[in-house]
C-alpha cells in the first residue's frame, strides 16, 4: 500500500492518483517518487486502465523536491540517485496522463506536471522553477521541457529568476490547456480522461508517442514516425470498428486490437 499517495480505480478506464503529503505541500521525497513510479507501472500493466489523472490538493500540486531530504543528500551523484530511476519510469508511462493542478507546482512539482500530456489548472495554480534560489537548477527535465513548451524567453525568465507564473499566464504560454475554478479542476480532468479512455488504446498510445516525438526531433523524422504509426493503425481491428461504427451511426466499441 502506498503511504504518500492514493490510487483510485474509477469506472470507464480511468485511474486517479492523488499525492498525499499535505504537511509538506506534497514535496517529492524519494519514497513518494518511487510510489508514484510504481503506481504508474501498475496502471501501465492494467488493461482496464486507459488514462491516468494525477493531482495534489487545493494548496499544492507539489512544491518540488523535499528540501529536508535534499539537505541531507549529496547531489553530486545524481546519475546514481534512486530518484533518477523513478523519474525515468514516470517518463516512460505510455498511456495518456493528465495533471490536474491546484496551488503550487514548483521545481520538481512543475517538472512532474510537465511529464503529463495535458495539464488542467485551477485559477490559483502557480508554476515555477525556483531551484536557482537554492543555488541549483532544474534536474527533472525543466530546462528541456519548459522551453519546448513555453518558448525560450519565458523559460529563461522562470528558470533564471525563480519567479512563478500564475495559471492565466501558463494558459497564454501553452503550459496548460485549460484553466477552471479550483474546485472543478479534478472533475474537468476526469471528464477529459473518460472521453479519452473511450478511444482505441493503440491509437492513443501511438498518437501520444508521435506527439511527444514532435518535441524532440526534426520534422522529417517526426513525419516518418507518424507515417509508420498511421500504417500500423491502418491494420487494426479497431480501425475497422471505428469506421463501421461511424457508418452504422453507433458508438464504437474498441477492443485494443
Ligand atoms: N520540501 C519540504 N518541505 C516543504 C517544501 C519542500 N519543497 N515546501 C514546503 N514545505 C513545507 C514547509 O517547510 C512547511 O512545513 P512546516 O515548516 O510547517 O513543518 C509546510 O510545507 C508549508 O509550507 P510554508 O509554510 O512554506 O507555506 P507558504 O504558503 O508560506 O509557502 C511555498 C509556500 C511553496 C512558497 C514555500 O513553502 C516554498 O517556497 N517552498 C519551497 C519551494 C521550493 O524551493 N521547492 C524545491 C525546488 S528544488 C532531482 C530532480 C529534481 C529535483 C531534485 C533532484 N534528481 C533527478 C535527483 C528538484 C529540485 C527541486 O524541486
For residue 72, pLDDT beyond 90: no
The mean predicted confidence, pLDDT, of the chain is: 96
Q: Over the stretch 144-166, which tens digit does the pLDDT of each residue have?
A: 999 999 999 999 999 999 999 99
Which three-class secondary structure state does DSSP give residue 230? Answer: helix
Structural domain spans, the chain? 5-197, 201-248
CB–CB of 106/64 below 8 Å?
yes
Question: Is there an atom of ligand 1 within 6 Å of 24 CB?
Answer: yes
Q: What is the pLDDT of residue 79?
A: 65
Asked if the domains 5-197 and 201-248 are classified in one and the same CATH topology, the answer is no
Q: What is 5-197's CATH number, 1.10.3720.10, 3.90.226.10, 3.40.50.150, 3.90.330.10?
A: 3.90.226.10
Indicate the pTM of the whole model: 0.97
For residue 172, the CA-to-ligand 1 centroid distance in Å is: 26
Q: Over the stretch 171-185, which tens digit does the pLDDT of each residue have?
A: 999 999 999 999 999
For residue 104, the CA-to-ligand 1 centroid distance in Å is: 9
Q: Over the stretch 79-101, which tens digit does the pLDDT of each residue have?
A: 678 899 999 999 999 999 999 99
Q: What is the pLDDT of residue 76?
A: 57
CB–CB of 174/149 below 8 Å?
yes
- The residues with which 105 forms a beta bridge, in sequence order, are 62, 127
Q: What is the pLDDT of residue 78?
A: 63
Closest by CA position to 101, among listed 152, 25, 154, 30: 25
Q: Return the CATH class of domain 201-248.
A: mainly alpha
CB–CB of 61/102 below 8 Å?
yes
Q: What percent of the chain has pLDDT over 90?
A: 95
Q: 233: part of which helix (H) or strand (E)? A: helix 219-234
Please give the average per-residue pLDDT across 122-138, as a whole number: 98
Q: Counting beta carbons within 10 angstroms of the beta carbon of residue 19, is it exposed (0 to 12), middle (13 to 18) or buried (19 or more)?
A: buried
84 Cα nearest atom in ligand 1: 56
Higher local confidence (pLDDT), 1 or 231:
231
For residue 102, pLDDT beyond 90: yes
Q: What is the pLDDT of residue 101?
A: 99
Q: What is the pLDDT of residue 80?
A: 74
CB–CB of 20/5 below 8 Å?
yes
φ, ψ dihedrals at 26, nearest 5°: 60, 30
The residues near 220 (Cβ < 8 Å, ≥ 6 apart) are none
Rounded distance, CA 65 to CA 30, Å? 9
CA geometry: angle at 50 spanning 48 and 52, to 5°?
115
Q: Over the stretch 39-60, which tens digit does the pLDDT of each residue have?
A: 999 999 999 999 999 999 999 9
For residue 204, the CA-to-ligand 1 centroid distance in Å is: 35
For residue 255, pLDDT beyond 90: yes
Q: Over the stretch 182-237, which tens digit does the pLDDT of each residue have?
A: 999 999 999 999 999 999 999 999 999 999 999 999 999 999 999 999 999 999 99
Q: Counting beta carbons within 10 angstroms of the beta carbon of residue 11, is it exposed (0 to 12), middle (13 to 18) or buried (19 or more)?
A: exposed
Which residues are the active-site residues? 65, 108, 111, 131
SS3 content of the chain, % helix, strand, coil (to 5): 55, 15, 30
For 16, the grid coordinates are: 486517479
Q: What is the pLDDT of residue 59?
A: 98
Q: 104: part of which helix (H) or strand (E)? A: strand 104-106
Measured in whole angstroms, how far is the alpha carbon of residue 8 from the centre of its chain? 17
Question: Is there an atom of ligand 1 within 6 Å of 93 CB?
Answer: no
73 pLDDT tier (thresholds 50, 70, 90): confident
For 46, the grid coordinates are: 492494467
Question: Is there an atom of ligand 1 within 6 Å of 131 CB?
Answer: yes
Residue of 60, 61, 67 with the most ligand 1 atoms within 8 Å of its CB, for mutation:
67
DSSP letters for 55-75: E--SSEEE-SB-HHHHHHS-G
Rounded distance, CA 121 to CA 99, Å? 8
Rounded distance, CA 217 to CA 109, Å? 26
For residue 128, pLDDT beyond 90: yes
Higher local confidence (pLDDT), 152 or 77:
152
Amino acid at each position: 500500500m502506498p503511504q504518500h499517495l492514493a490510487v483510485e480505480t474509477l469506472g470507464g478506464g480511468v485511474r486517479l492518483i492523488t499525492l498525499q503529503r499535505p504537511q509538506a505541500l506534497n514535496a517529492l521525497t524519494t519514497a513518494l517518487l518511487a510510489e508514484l513510479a510504481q503506481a504508474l507501472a501498475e496502471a501501465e500493466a492494467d488493461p482496464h486502465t486507459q488514462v491516468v489523472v494525477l493531482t495534489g490538493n487545493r494548496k499544492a500540486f507539489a512544491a518540488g523536491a523535499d528540501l529536508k531530504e535534499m539537505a541531507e543528500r549529496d547531489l553530486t551523484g545524481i546519475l546514481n540517485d534512486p530518484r533518477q530511476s523513478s523519474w525515468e519510469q514516470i517518463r516512460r508511462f505510455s498511456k495518456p496522463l493528465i495533471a490536474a493542478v491546484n496551488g503550487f507546482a514548483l521545481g520538481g512539482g512543475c517538472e512532474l506536471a510537465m511529464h503529463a500530456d495535458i495539464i488542467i489548472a485551477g485559477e490559483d495554480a502557480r508554476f515555477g522553477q525556483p531551484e536557482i534560489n537554492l543555488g541549483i537548477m532544474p534536474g527533472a527535465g525543466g530546462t528541456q521541457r519548459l522551453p519546448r513548451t513555453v518558448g525560450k524567453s519565458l523559460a529563461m525568465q522562470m528558470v533564471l529568476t525563480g519567479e512563478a507564473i500564475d495559471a492565466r499566464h501558463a494558459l497564454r504560454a501553452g503550459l496548460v490547456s485549460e484553466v477552471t475554478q479550483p474546485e472543478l479542476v479534478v472533475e474537468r480532468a476526469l471528464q477529459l480522461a473518460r472521453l479519452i479512455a473511450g478511444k482505441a488504446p493503440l491509437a492513443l498510445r501511438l498518437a501520444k508517442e508521435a506527439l511527444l516525438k514532435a518535441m524532440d526531433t526534426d520534422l522529417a523524422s517526426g513525419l516518418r514516425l507518424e507515417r509508420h504509426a498511421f500504417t500500423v493503425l491502418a491494420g487494426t481491428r479497431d480501425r475497422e470498428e471505428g469506421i463501421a461504427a461511424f457508418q452504422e451511426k453507433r458508438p464504437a466499441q474498441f477492443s485494443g486490437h
